[in-house]
Structure 1
Amino acid sequence: MMFSRKIQFFLFCLLAVLSSCTGNFVDINRPGSKLSPEELQRDNYAVGSFLIQMQGVAFPEQENAYQTMIDFVGNYLGRYTTYTKELPKNHTLFNASNAWCAWPASYAPSVVSAFNEVVTLNGKENISYAWALILRAQAFLRFTDIYGPFPLSMDKDNAEVYSSQRDIYLQLINDLDKATAYIASDVNLANEKTVFAPYDLVYKGDFNKWRKFANSLKLRIAVRISNVEPAMARSLAEQAVRDGVIEDNEENCTISYNKSGLWTTAVSWGDSRICADLESYMTGYRDSRLSKYFLQPNVAGSRKFIGCRAGALIESNVLAKRLYSTVNLSETTPGVWLTASEMAFCKAEGVLRGWNMGSGAVRDFYEQGIKLSFKQWGADGVAAYLLDDTSVEADYTDASGGFGGNVTKVSTITIKWNDNAPMAEKMERLITQKWIALFPNGQEAWNEIRRTGYPRIFPVPQATNGYTLLTPNRIPFDKNQQINNRSNYDKAVEYLGGADDYATPMWWQK
C-alpha cells in the first residue's frame, strides 16, 4: 500500500474530539439522494464530521500532520524555516529518510474516504458536495505539487493507480468549476450557512466566501501552469478574476486550531528556526514585518533578528534554539493558507503576461499586494517601503557560535516598481515580494522558487547527496511502492519523465 495506516489512528482521535457535536451518528445509506433541509438540520452532523475530516488535511494544523506535510517539506524547501535538530538527513540535504518521503502521502486516504462518505450520505448537486470538491482540490493540489504524479482515485476499481500531474490539474480545475457553478446558483445559501456553520472551521458556513476561495485556487493554479499551458492558464485566470477572487484581508483563508501547527513545531518543540534567506531579504529591505514574523533570539547577536542557513550542520539543537530567531506566533494564532495579498500578486503577474485581470496596471497590483500584506500583519511604513529603490538583500552573517557560516547576498533586486526594467528584472522583483508576503505558507513559497527561480536563494553549506540544485524539485515516492505497488509505481515514473529522485522537475516547471 502507498499510504501509512497511522492516519487511521489520527482520524479516530479527530472523531473523538468531535464527539460532542457528532456523537450520535445514524445510518444514512441512501447513495445518490439529497437530504431535505429538515433532514440536514437533524442529521448534518454525519456529513459535517467528514467535512471536518477533509479540512484537517486541506488545512493541516494538527501538530503531526503539520510537521510531516508542511514543515518537513514546504517550510524548509521554501526557505521560510529550517530544521535545527541534530539529524544529518532531511529534504534540505536531499537525503531524507523514506519515512519523511512517505508521510505527506499517508494523509491522502482520509481525504478520499471522507469525500466518498459525503457523496454516499448526501449525494451530489448540493452544497456539501460542492464544498467537498473544493476541499479535495486544496488537499490534492498540495499532494501533486510535492510528488508530481499521484493516486487521485480516478480509477474506481483501483485506488492505487497514479494519474499524471497534468491530468490531476485538469481534474481539480473541473472540480472547482463544478463547485463554483453550484454555489453561484444555489438560492438557499442562508439556510445552508446555518446548517453547516458548526462544521466550517474557516468561513463558518459562508459559502460566498468558499466560492471566492475556489476562484482564488483557480487563479493560483493558472499562474502555476502559465509556462506549460499558456492558453489554458489565461482562460482560467480571466474566468477566476471575472467570477471573483479574494481581494480583502477579511476574506483570507485562515483556520484556528487548539494549538497552531507552526507554533507547536517551531516554538513549543523548537524543531526549527527562521531561515537565513527570508531574514536576509527582510533585513536588507528594512522590512517592518520583521518584528511581526520573527522573535528575537535569546542570545544577543549582531542584529535584532537572526536566521539560520538551510542545511546548516546543527551540532546542538539547544544552542540553535538560543542563537536563532523563531516565529512570532502564539498557540492560538490562526494558520494562513490563502490571502488577498497573494491574489494581488497573481493579478500583477497576469497583467505582465498580457491577461485581462480587470482594472489595474502591473504596478497597481504589485503595490496592492505589498500593502495588503503590511495591513494583514499590522506593520507600518509601507509608503516608504514602496518608494525604496536602493535597498537590496543583506549579506548573511551567522550568529556567533552558529552552524551555517557567513554568505554573500545572491540578489541585488530592489523594491520600487520599475515599468522600464527588463522582463527578468520585473519577474524577480514581483516574485521576491510575493514570496515575502506568502509567509507562513511554505508550500506556496517552495512552488514559486521552483516555478520561477525566484527569489534567489543561498547555497546549502553541506554536501547535498550529489545534487547541484539549491532546493529539491520534488520529493521521492515511498520506496515501498516499488515492492507493494510495482506496476502502478512504474507507470508513475513514466509519467514523471525522469528518475524518481529530488531532481526531476514538476510538469509545470518544464
Structure 2
Amino acid sequence: MKNTYIKTFCIAVVGAMTLSSCDKGFEEMNTNPNALTDPAIKSMFTLAEIYVDGQDFSNTRGNNIYAAQIVQQFSSLGGSGSKYTYSSEYSAALFGETYGKGLNQIYQLLSVVENTPENSNMIQALRIMKVFMYQKLTDTYGEVPYFDAGKGYTGNVFSPKYDTQEAIYNDLLKELDQAGDALDANKAFVGAADLYYQSDVARWKKLANSLMLRVAMRLTKVNPAKAKEYVEKAYAKGVFTSNDDSLVLKHDAGPAGVKTNPITSSWVRNDLNGGESNIKFSKTFIDLLKNTNDPRLRIYAKLEATGDNSPASQQGLANDAKEFPGGDKKLFSDPNTSTVLRYDAPTLIMSHAEVKFLLAEAAVRGWNVGGSAQTYYEAGVKAAMDILTIFGDKVPAVTAAEYNTYITTYPFKTAGTEAQKIEQIITQKWIVLLFNGFEAFSEYRRTGYPVLVPVNDPTGETNGTIPRRLIYDQSELITNAANYREAIQRQGLDLMTTRVWWDKQ
C-alpha cells in the first residue's frame, strides 16, 4: 500500500474546517451555506478522506464502547455495549459526528466544486466516500435523512426528512455503479491530496466495486435477487485483488486528535493507564484465537502492564462480568500498543481479506463470482494474516508456515451445510473486522455469526436480547421532530431491539 501520511498542512485545514463542522447533526450541517467563499479544494478533499471512518468521538463512543462490545470483540464491566445499556451520548455519537463532520465536509465541497471534466474524478470519489458513511449510518440506526441531507447548501432544507432504508440502499448501489464507471484515468484528479490511493484511478475503481460487493451482500435476506445481481456485477467489474488494494489510512504519532489514529488515540491517551483500562479484549475473542492457536494473537494482544504478548498469557474479560476475576485488571488482555494500538497505527478501512470473504459467501450461495468458496476462504485467511504487517515489525509477522499449519488444522468445511460454511466465513471476517465494530455488528445481525451468548444484565435495556440497532440522536426530537416521528412510525419504536429493514429473522 502506497498511502502517504497525513501531511502537516492538514493540521491547519482541520482547525479551520472543524469550526464549520460541528458534532450535533443536521441543524449545524444545514446552516450558513455560503461559509466557504474561497475554498482550498484539495485540502477539503483530504479532510473529507480523514473524516470517512470517523474521529475520536464516534470511534470511542459508538465503535469501541457500543458496537465492538455488542459483538464481543471487546468487553467492559460498565460498557454500554457489553451490558446493552443506553447512553444517549454514546448511542448518538456516530449520528451527530457523521452528519456534523464527515457528510458536512463532503456537502460543502460538492457545493463549491464545479461539475466540469477536470473535477469529475474528485466528484466521483466524493460519491464513493459518501456511500461509506451513509451505509454505516443506516445500518446502525435504520432510516436516516438521506435525499434531503445537505440541502441547506443548495435548497434551504433545514429539517430533512428520513428515508426508508430500502430507498437508501437502492441509491447507494446506483451511486457506486455510476461513480465507478465515471472514474477516468485520462482526467485530472487531486494528486497527493488523495491520501487513499494518490489519485490512482484504477484502485479507486476497485474500491467502488468492492464497496458495492459489501453493500449488495447486506440484502441477502431482504432481496436476495438484487443482492446476487450486484454481487456478480461488482465481481465482473473488478474488486480488490491483493492487500495493496486495501483501503488503509496512515497516521502520525502526533499531535493527538489531529494526525493520530482516531480509534486508538483516545484509548491510549485516556483509558489504557498501564493496563488499568476498563475496556479489555472480550473472552469470546481471546478464547477463539487461543483455542485455535491463531498466530495473529501475539500481534493483536498483550498485557500492557508487563508487555507480555505470549498467547498463553492472554486472558479475555467475559462480557457479562461484574468484576475482574481475581481483582487485577492487569492480568487481562489489552490491544497491543506495539502494533494495533499505536498512536500512529494505520486505520484499515476496508481490506482485501474482507472482499475475499464476501466472495467466499457468494460462492457458497452459488452465485457467479469466478471461484470456489474454499479458494476464496483460504485466500481471505491468508490476506487477513498478511495485512497485519501494516502495524509494523515490533512483533514477528505471521509466517507462511504458520498460515499453512492453521489452514490445514482448521480447513474450510467443504462437506458442511451452507449454514456451517457461512458461519466459518463470517467468523473469520469478525476477526479481521477488529476495530471496525460497526461493520462487525452489521454482519452479525445479517448472518447471526459468530454465535454469541447474550448478556442479561439488570442494567440492560433489552431483557437479554442482543441489540439490533442503536438509538437516534435525541436532539432530533427538538430540531427535526416531525420527520423523526414519521420515521419511527414506519420503522418501529426507537429502541435497541427494533430491527432495521434488511435485518429479517
Same fold (TM over 0.5): yes
Aligned to 2:294: 287
Do 1:146 and 1:474's aligned partners in 2 also have CA atoms closer than 8 Å? Answer: yes
With over 3 angstroms needed to count, the CA separation of the structure-2 counterparts of 1:333 and 1:483, relative to structure 1, is closer
What amino acid sits opposite 1:74 in the alignment? A
Aligned to 2:102: 111
Question: What are the Cα deviations for residues 273-305 of structure 1, in whole angstroms up to 9, with x where unaligned?
Answer: 212111111111110010011113537899411
Whether 1:70 aligns to 2:89 is no
How far is the alpha carbon of 1:15 from its aligned partner?
6.9
Which shifted more, 348-357 or 423-432? 423-432
With over 3 angstroms needed to count, the CA separation of the structure-2 counterparts of 1:90 and 1:136, relative to structure 1, is same
What amino acid sits opposite 2:385 in the alignment? F
What amino acid sits opposite 1:288 in the alignment? P
Aligned to 1:166: 166
Whether 1:350 aligns to 2:362 is yes
What amino acid sits opposite 1:254 in the alignment? V
Question: What are the Cα deviations for residues 125-175 of structure 1, in whole angstroms up to 9, with x where unaligned?
Answer: 611111110111111111111111111243643443111111111121122
Match of 1:238 among 220, 232, 257: 232
Q: Equivalent residue of 2:455, what SS?
A: coil
Instruction: For 1:21 and 1:486, locate their aligned partners in 2 and report how far apart those are by CA, in whole Å.
Output: 31
Identical pairs, percent: 24
Aligned to 2:24: none
Match of 1:120 among 111, 124, 129: 111
Aligned to 1:400: none
Q: Equivalent residue of 2:75, what SS?
A: strand
Instruction: For 1:425 and 1:298, locate their aligned partners in 2 and report how far apart those are by CA, in whole Å.
Output: 39
With over 3 angstroms needed to count, the CA separation of the structure-2 counterparts of 1:217 and 1:159, relative to structure 1, is farther
Aligned to 2:179: 179
How far is the alpha carbon of 1:63 from its aligned partner?
2.7
How far is the alpha carbon of 1:73 from its aligned partner?
3.0
Aligned to 2:313: 304
Instruction: For 1:73 and 1:14, locate their aligned partners in 2 and report how far apart those are by CA, in whole Å.
Output: 33
Question: What are the Cα deviations for residues 420-454 of structure 1, in whole angstroms up to 9, with x where unaligned?
Answer: 21222122112112212222322221112111111
How far is the alpha carbon of 1:100 from its aligned partner?
1.4
Aligned to 2:393: none
How far is the alpha carbon of 1:214 from its aligned partner?
1.2
Match of 1:341 among 343, 353, 362: 353
Aligned to 2:215: 221
What amino acid sits opposite 2:378 in the alignment? E
Q: Equivalent residue of 2:163, what SS?
A: coil
Task: Give runs of aligned pairs for residues 361-376 of structure 1, distance below 5 A.
Answer: 361-376=372-387
Instruction: For 1:304 and 1:487, locate their aligned partners in 2 and report how far apart those are by CA, in whole Å.
Output: 54
How far is the alpha carbon of 1:247 from its aligned partner?
1.8
Instruction: For 2:237 and 2:167, locate their aligned partners in 1 and report how far apart those are by CA, in whole Å.
Output: 24
Question: What are the Cα deviations for residues 40-85 of structure 1, in whole angstroms up to 9, with x where unaligned?
Answer: xxx997222322332233122x43342134223332223222335x
Q: Equivalent residue of 1:500, what SS?
A: coil
The count of aligned residue pairs is 439
Instruction: For 1:482 and 1:65, locate their aligned partners in 2 and report how far apart those are by CA, in whole Å.
Output: 20
Whether 1:387 aligns to 2:377 is no
Instruction: For 1:217 and 1:90, locate their aligned partners in 2 and report how far apart those are by CA, in whole Å.
Output: 29
With over 3 angstroms needed to count, the CA separation of the structure-2 counterparts of 1:385 and 1:501, relative to structure 1, is same
Task: Give runs of aligned pairs for residues 141-156 of structure 1, distance below 5 A.
Answer: 141-154=135-148, 156=151
With over 3 angstroms needed to count, the CA separation of the structure-2 counterparts of 1:109 and 1:298, relative to structure 1, is closer
How far is the alpha carbon of 1:98 from its aligned partner?
1.2
Instruction: For 1:237 and 1:320, locate their aligned partners in 2 and report how far apart those are by CA, in whole Å.
Output: 45
Match of 1:94 among 70, 79, 84: 84
Whether 1:419 aligns to 2:407 is no
How far is the alpha carbon of 1:466 from its aligned partner?
5.1
How far is the alpha carbon of 1:244 from its aligned partner?
0.9
With over 3 angstroms needed to count, the CA separation of the structure-2 counterparts of 1:503 and 1:14, relative to structure 1, is farther
With over 3 angstroms needed to count, the CA separation of the structure-2 counterparts of 1:435 and 1:20, relative to structure 1, is closer
Aligned to 1:35: none
With over 3 angstroms needed to count, the CA separation of the structure-2 counterparts of 1:199 and 1:65, relative to structure 1, is farther
Do 2:67 and 2:437's aligned partners in 1 also have CA atoms closer than 8 Å? Answer: yes
Greater than 6 Å deviation, 4+ residue runs: 19-22, 299-302
Match of 2:280 among 273, 277, 280: 273
| TM-score, structure 1 normalization | 0.79
Q: Equivalent residue of 1:473, what SS?
A: coil
Instruction: For 2:96 and 2:299, locate their aligned partners in 1 and report how far apart those are by CA, in whole Å.
Output: 33
| TM-score, structure 2 normalization | 0.80
Do 2:66 and 2:79's aligned partners in 1 also have CA atoms closer than 8 Å? Answer: no
How far is the alpha carbon of 1:89 from its aligned partner?
6.1
Aligned to 1:32: none
Q: CA RMSD in A?
A: 2.9
Do 1:53 and 1:110's aligned partners in 2 also have CA atoms closer than 8 Å? Answer: no
Aligned to 1:136: 130
How far is the alpha carbon of 1:312 from its aligned partner?
3.0
How far is the alpha carbon of 1:204 from its aligned partner?
2.1
Whether 1:58 aligns to 2:41 is no
Instruction: For 1:444 and 1:98, locate their aligned partners in 2 and report how far apart those are by CA, in whole Å.
Output: 21
Do 1:151 and 1:160's aligned partners in 2 also have CA atoms closer than 8 Å? Answer: yes
How far is the alpha carbon of 1:484 from its aligned partner?
3.6
What amino acid sits opposite 1:308 in the alignment? L
Which shifted more, 447-456 or 434-443? 434-443
Instruction: For 2:200 and 2:412, locate their aligned partners in 1 and report how far apart those are by CA, in whole Å.
Output: 36
Task: Give runs of aligned pairs for residues 309-348 of structure 1, distance below 5 A.
Answer: 309-314=318-323, 319-321=328-330, 323-327=332-336, 328-329=339-340, 330-348=342-360
With over 3 angstroms needed to count, the CA separation of the structure-2 counterparts of 1:203 and 1:74, relative to structure 1, is farther
Aligned to 2:260: 259
How far is the alpha carbon of 1:102 from its aligned partner?
1.8
Do 1:306 and 1:325's aligned partners in 2 also have CA atoms closer than 8 Å? Answer: no
With over 3 angstroms needed to count, the CA separation of the structure-2 counterparts of 1:128 and 1:321, relative to structure 1, is farther
How far is the alpha carbon of 1:215 from its aligned partner?
0.8
What amino acid sits opposite 1:342 in the alignment? E
Whether 1:499 aligns to 2:493 is yes
What amino acid sits opposite 2:209 in the alignment? N
Aligned to 2:440: 445
Instruction: For 1:55 and 1:115, locate their aligned partners in 2 and report how far apart those are by CA, in whole Å.
Output: 9
Do 1:57 and 1:139's aligned partners in 2 also have CA atoms closer than 8 Å? Answer: no
Which shifted more, 303-312 or 223-232? 303-312
Aligned to 1:39: none
What amino acid sits opposite 1:339 in the alignment? S
Structure 1 unaligned regions, length at least 5? 1-12, 23-42, 389-414
Q: Equivalent residue of 1:261, what SS?
A: coil
